[in-house]
Structure 1
């Protein structure tokens, strides 16, 4: 009998079109290996500098948390639409996305991280960095980057 390569898959999601693609890949791999998916959405806890002054930090945090829950629900909805029997454990973390993804990967002892890439290049990549790139360079498990 073949070895089960993947038992736990970490799926970071931010609701973007890049995350949508990675969700499909993660569900397909999980179905093939009968693996669990840990769907992770990270709330960056930095306050945007372009506030109008009307928003309070509490209101912004509430909005971010709501968006995060919506991102996680999308993964479950996609699983249900495809009629898959996959265990999905939703998880929310706060902080820097790359650091949070790496921390959860270690805490949960995942075998694979499936992450979307925005395809940044040039000056954008230099100035902003890439969450996927940071994860690839520092993860202790396999990483699948979906473009």
Structure 2
């Protein structure tokens, strides 16, 4: 039923729980998983030193890389049925910008069939201050979205 599943991750426990669901669905439908980490750089714009912005961005990218690697480890450790002739294909992507916008753009660019994402990220306050990324994706995505809590 699904050919491409988008799994946004920020390394939070909710993203890791979503990964378990995405991996199971992918193993049942022989789908590819695209793991996406979005480095939100908008909050760095007002910082005084350019080199500080570059260093923080690199740190955030490294944190995102670790989050993606953790998802790959979860997939490798997951017992999957032998329904598919091959192992689950996992592709990783990192983007910069607004998480909701980057997720929605990736849905269109990659012709995503299903998004599986956590209900909350690492920064719970974002939900009250900016509106939930998950909520924005659920309201605007052109495909089904599974929100995992």
Length-normalised TM-score, structure 1: 0.86
Q: Which runs of 5+ in 2 are unaligned?
A: 81-86
The equivalent of 2:77 in structure 1 is 81
The equivalent of 1:43 in structure 2 is 39
Q: Which runs of 5+ in 1 are unaligned?
A: none
The equivalent of 2:18 in structure 1 is 22
Q: 1:111 aligns with which of 110, 113, 125?
A: 113
**Equivalences for residues 111-130 of structure 1 within 5 A:** 111-118=113-120, 125-130=127-132
SS state of the match for residue 41, structure 1? strand
Compute the RMSD of aligned alpha carbons: 2.3
Counting matched residue pairs gives 139
8 A Cα contact 2:5 2:22, kept in partner: yes
SS state of the match for residue 2, structure 2? coil
> Whole-Å Cα distance in 2 between the matches of residues 83 and 93 of structure 1?
30
8 A Cα contact 1:18 1:146, kept in partner: yes
The equivalent of 2:3 in structure 1 is 7
The C-alpha deviation readout for 1:83-104, integer Å capped at 9, x for no partner, is 5521000001110000000000
Check if 1:61 corresponds to 2:53.
no
8 A Cα contact 1:47 1:57, kept in partner: no
